[in-house]
Amino acid sequence: MSSPFVKSKLKVARDALGKKQYETARDAASQVLDCEPDNYTAHVFLGLACLELGHHDKSEQLYSRAIGLRPDQLLAWQGISQLYEKQEKWDAVAGALEEMLRIFSANSDATKAAETLQKLIETRRQHGSRKQIITVLFYLLPDSPFYDTLSTLPPPDHTNPNSTTTFVTQEAIHDSLPVIEEIMALTEQEEETFMKVEFDKRRTRLGAPPPDIMRNEIGLEVWRTSKLPLVYQEVLNHPKTSDELRRSVEDRMIRYKQQIFHALPLSDPDKSTVGIQLAELVNGIVTIGVRNQSAWSIFLEGLDQETVCECGLDLLRRFMQVFPDTNLAQLLRAYFMYMGISNDESVDEEADEPSTVALKPVSTDGDPLNAITDAFGSLQDSILATRVVIEVYSKELDYLSVIHVAESGLELVKKHERNTGRKLGNVRKAFHIALATALVHSYPPKHHQRARLLLDDVLTQDPDHVDALLAYGYILQSAEKWEEAEVVFSKVTTRLPPATRKFVRAREERAWCLSRIRTAEGMQALRDVLKDLEGGEFQFDRARCLWRVGRACWDLGGSFREEAYANFIQSLRCDPEYAPSYTSLGVYYSEFAVPPDPTRASKCFQKAFELNPTEVEAARRLAEGFANEREWDLVEVVARRTIEGEGVLDLGIGAEGGVVAGRYLPANAWAWKALGVVELSRGYYAQSIEALQIALRADEEDQVCWLRLGEAYSKAGRYAAALKALARAKELDRDVWLCTYLIGEVQRQTGKFGEALDSYKSVLQKQSDEVGVLMSLALTELALARQEWSSGFFTRAERTFASTITTCLSTVRAASGYGSIVWKVVGDALLGLSQATTFVDQELLRGIFAKITSVLRHVTSKRVAHVFSLGPIQDGLPLTGSYALQLAVASYDYRITVGSSGDTVMGSALYDLGLALQTWSKEGNDREPALEVAASLLKEALIKDPDDPTYWTALAITYFLDKPKISQHAYIKALELDPKNTVAWTQLGLLYLYYNDVALAYEALSKAHILDPDCSVAWVGLALVAARNGDDDHAHALLEHVVGLSPLAQPAATMEFAARLFPPMSPQAKARVPVKEELLPAFAALNLYAKQRQDDPRALHLLGLICERLGALEQGADWIFRAITLLEIAYEDTEDSLIERQFTIAHTNLARLKVCLHDYTGALESFEIAHGLLPEQGATGRECEPDNELLRVQVLFGSGLAHFKLGDIQSAMTRFQNALDATVDNHILRCHVTVLLARCMWAIGTDELRESAKALLLDSITADPEALVSISTLAGMGILTEDDSLVDAALSEIQSLPIERRQELDPSGDVTYLLIRHHLGLADIGRAIRIAQKALHIEPSNLRIRRDLASLTLKQGNRAATQAILAVESAVGSLEEAKETLAVACIADDGTEGRALSYAQKAIMLDPGNVQNWKTLTYVRTRNGGL
């Protein structure tokens, strides 16, 4: 019992709460709890006070504590409900309301329970999910735990709904149908939403199943636990359910059951249960004729009958009455009209039998076929609709449509069986028969293999099935298995009643097969069939039968052929559009009629082919006739239509029946062959190849087809395939020379000129006068000659050019009419010969030139007569390229005279003559008049063909120097016609460069380079641009690339590249001397060029200097001597001062080489000649040229050195002094001469002269303290004499300079080298190593210092240090230094890993002429052998 204190405090708290004094209430309730911690009322009061004070967390704790103390008391639940409402915790509010509902229900307080439930439902409606709403709505249904209490509420008073607070609950309790309907709608929405969301979530997972399977899986997860079936049943069982609602719910129930039924796997035991339930619902609805389209559709789709009529016509009529406006009803109604079936239900009871159904279509106001087609567009998923359409298309003989629809029907059957687990054997069989029959008659025998597989399956199940047997018989007929086909058709006649149309057709087919076996007997049988084909409806069948009788008579031959003719005529009278009769009549008129009537026969064949493109005999004969008349367009039309008649364009008949070009076997190979030849003649090579390939599948031994295929391959650029095809054609018939000729053409196009020549020559052995082969031979020889010339084989090229001309002259003798092309080839060959200065085989070319001259001597045209005339061959003088060029001009001129006057041919001839004249003008022959004529010829060519960019480019080149604006316009016009014309872009760039527009030149040349990276002229242009911009290194690299592409393509580039390898002849030049590896490309290019142009003294002179650098002194002297000879001849002709100067320089260089070769006397002669040609020192004019001083000093010093070597010391010293006196004004040159003089004085060996040499060097150093050459030489003298003070005096100045200045003065490290040698001479190897280390630290990339340091450490015996130094070789060193480093690495290696031998071998491979490398290899092998 509570104490008075507790009661008083509770009263205070209650009063305070009533007065809204919440703090007072809080304190009082708290005091109570201090005394009685489990006081329920205090917890509630305190919780309410905290709630009002905003202490929500504490309030929730107090209410929860109170609920824990007394869970069946309402106060705490009501308080916590208010708390949750303020906090908007709606799920918690609903939970509290449900507890309050439970308490009110337990207390049988129906009103409070109803009010609480109403509030709960309202809360869920506003703040809950559909699932939560469904849950609370179930509280109003009889299965609810609160229903007993709520059912005590009185019925609602609809006249005064506001008289009570529980009107909503009262209404729901006494009429639950609206609640059930709401639950049903919400549940459907919830399940649909859940399935959609879940599908979207799962479909993106890796390895997700197909969409249909995924939907079924998700559906089963929902449907297995769904309450919808119970809700549907509640609605159906409710007494207040209306008929309309009942039908709607039944439809929903059926759809729901169908979904579950289809989704359940076949192995699930529930599938049969659900199926039975669904069947009961459907059958009940159909039986009583309820208007439920879903049920009717399920019922009709599940009917397993072979024909539509067997499904029950009454059933179909009832469906049309129940659903008159549906697409299926419209389709069935049109079907009934098409088949002539009455729509009236009052028909005979036997109307369901198919045999009583009229097969003749009835006439209607509308077209039932169109109605069926329109309705079927929205019924693609209906098996029944598919069966109806197949039957209609079969009657219409629309076999392609039957195939497509039957295949889709089989997919529907497969889907239905998978969904229901029930087999539709009869339906599947019906589809198979329809599909097989359509495949048999669709482009026979294309699909017969597939049809036979289907028919075998059907006949295995039903061996006597008439339609299957008929289709099987047609397949045997097509395969000409007449005996087997006759047996099959005989079997069909025994399975059919005699009065039916199928029976008559089977008899006819049997008789036709019999006529193919036993003609007379079969012909009689066909005549018997004719008796049954009386009547207007049998006209087509009668025409066919009469034609077959005629064919039998034709096969009997003799007098029966006239009877056959009569039957063909009679057949056409029955059906004027029966094509086979026209074909047979055409054969009759062309082969048997007397006289033959080809015109009438052709008309018959045309008519037959127009009516039916599968009339192959008519098509073939028609195509042959058109081919004989050269009507190739008509041949193509016939061939294409014949191919279409084979069904080649019939794609998509199914995975097995679809035509794929890769596996198609043609029935009419001649059509494909004709099509391939036509496409080949039109230049459509890809189409021609495909057609010829298909033709070869039918006959792999067709030699002509292989030949044309090879020709098509070659013209399409597929040369490997062309050679294979032509080889196969040659294998089939080796006597056909055209095959060998085409092989030669392919070989010529692929650059195999030697093999092509062999092929052409083998053809000419059989067909010696075949002009086409002769011209191909000449063109091949011309191409081979050009290739040989560009490769540097000048003698071979000369002979091949001569052979080309000889072949062309033979062609002129063999046939006329080829003058234009013959003389073009002759001109091209002569133009190629004009590149040579002299010829090797003078006699051969003299004879050929004499023949050409005899033809062209007096036929010069008026176009060029005033600037050019062909002179005679001068006896006694060797032939040169200049005369070949004259003959080329004359040949091109004569070509215009004898050639065609067509615009294209004439334009080409004028262009060739213009270019030849342009080239001829460069030889110094009346340049300006010749260029004017060349320009006029090119303009005339442009009039003939203004769209040829080559002509515009040639015109621009002609005006390059004289009329730059016109030249630029012509280049731009050429580029407008062909924006990718590399030649035009290159020449335009050179034009801009010539006239100093470097920016535009660079853009144009870069464009040309991008379009053709192998265009050597573009590379040369870019090199000139780089040189113009001062980037000499880049220019050198570009020229090197040009020389690497083709040394003979650009002779000027070769000369420029070689010249740039030498520094300018100037004492201020600091250029690096090139090493051997850099000179080799120039040597190779110039060597070829010198052999080609032996009259170019500049090239010979430059080649001699390169040979000197490479160490080939004798070759160098020989080349320079040849250059001197040419310069001497040229000077005698012109007395040009420039040639005189070149002659002087050449003698100076030759003298230097002779000194090196120890020919001192010869050197003195050359030096004297050079000295005599130099102007006197002090003379004006030419002496102002700075190079004369250098030449004079070189000549004087060189002659002094020669005297010195000959022992004439006095003359030598005089020359040395004169050389020194000549350098008064040039201290740099004086320094070099001083050093050379000091060395010579030192070499004499007397103490006096050696002291004089030292004094001379000291004076030079005094004059120029940074004269490194003098310093190095003096230091060397000090080292040799072991004079440390002299070494220190010599090197102290240079060592005191900053590092940057030292490196600038001594880039090769001569000072470091001398210091190392000096200390080594003093046996101070440690000091030498320190000097080398310091130098390497200053310049780590210097391989020479690295090699020296490695050698020093090796001398110390420190192999590890040596290997460490050599292991970090820099890649920037030259190849020459790398070779020397390998030798050191060999010696430093200890031999444990075998690398020394590898290093030594590699050094020899890099420089096999180095004796030291061979010594190193010997040392390594000796060490490894332990010797």
What are phi and psi for residue 838, nearest 5 degrees?
-135, 165
Q: Give residue 723's pLDDT.
A: 92
Q: Give residue 348's pLDDT.
A: 41
What's the half-sphere exposure (Cβ side, CA atoms, 13 Å) at 658? 8
DSSP label at residue 700: T
Residues 110 and 153 sit within 8 Å (Cβ to Cβ)? yes
Helix (H) or strand (E) holding 1287: helix 1284-1295
Residues 969-990 as b/e (b if ≥16 CB within 10 A, e otherwise) read: ebbebbbebbeebbbbbbbbbb
How far apart CA 1320 and CA 118 sit, in angstroms, is 117
DSSP string of 915-982?
A: HHHHHHHTTTSSHHHHHHHHHHHHHHHHHH-TT-HHHHHHHHHHTTTT-HHHHHHHHHHHHHH-TT-H
Residues 619 and 671 sit within 8 Å (Cβ to Cβ)? yes
pLDDT, tens digit, 9 for 90 and up, residues 935-956: 888 888 888 888 889 989 888 9
Exposed, middle or buried: residue 199 (CB in 10 Å: 0-12, 13-18, 19+)? middle
pLDDT, tens digit, 9 for 90 and up, residues 544-584: 999 999 999 998 888 888 899 999 999 999 989 999 999 99
How far apart CA 1384 and CA 1351 sit, in angstroms, is 7
Residues 6+ apart with CB under 8 A from 709: 676, 689, 692, 693, 696, 725
Residues 1406 and 1386 sit within 8 Å (Cβ to Cβ)? no
Listed residue (987, 997, 936) closest to 960, CA to CA? 987
Residues 701 and 691 sit within 8 Å (Cβ to Cβ)? no
Residues 1144 and 1170 sit within 8 Å (Cβ to Cβ)? yes
End-to-end CA distance of the chain: 125
Which residue's entry shows tokens 């509308």? 366
How far apart CA 716 and CA 515 sit, in angstroms, is 50
User: How far is CA 836 from its chain centroid?
Assistant: 46
Q: What is the CA radius of gyration of the chain?
A: 56
Listed residue (596, 603, 644) closest to 621, CA to CA? 603
What's the half-sphere exposure (Cβ side, CA atoms, 13 Å) at 881? 20
**Structure token pair of residue 872:** 């005679």
Residues 467 and 437 sit within 8 Å (Cβ to Cβ)? yes
How far apart CA 325 and CA 378 sit, in angstroms, is 13
Neighbours of 1188 (CB within 10 A): 18
pTM over 0.85, yes/no: no
Which residue's entry shows tokens 């030096």? 1167
Listed residue (559, 616, 557, 605) closest to 581, CA to CA? 605
Which residue's entry shows tokens 């004369």? 1188
C-alpha distances (whole Å) from 450 to each of 387, 690, 1219 are 21, 25, 107
Q: Give residue 1381's pLDDT.
A: 67
Q: Give residue 1's pLDDT.
A: 41
pLDDT, tens digit, 9 for 90 and up, residues 472-486: 999 999 888 999 999
Q: Give residue 651's pLDDT.
A: 40
C-alpha distances (whole Å) from 128 to each of 120, 144, 188, 383, 1089 are 10, 20, 17, 45, 98
Which positions of the chain have pLDDT values less than 50? 1, 346-365, 650-662, 1064-1072, 1179-1184, 1368-1373, 1427
pLDDT, tens digit, 9 for 90 and up, residues 972-999: 999 999 998 898 998 899 899 889 898 9
How far apart CA 1286 and CA 1302 sit, in angstroms, is 20
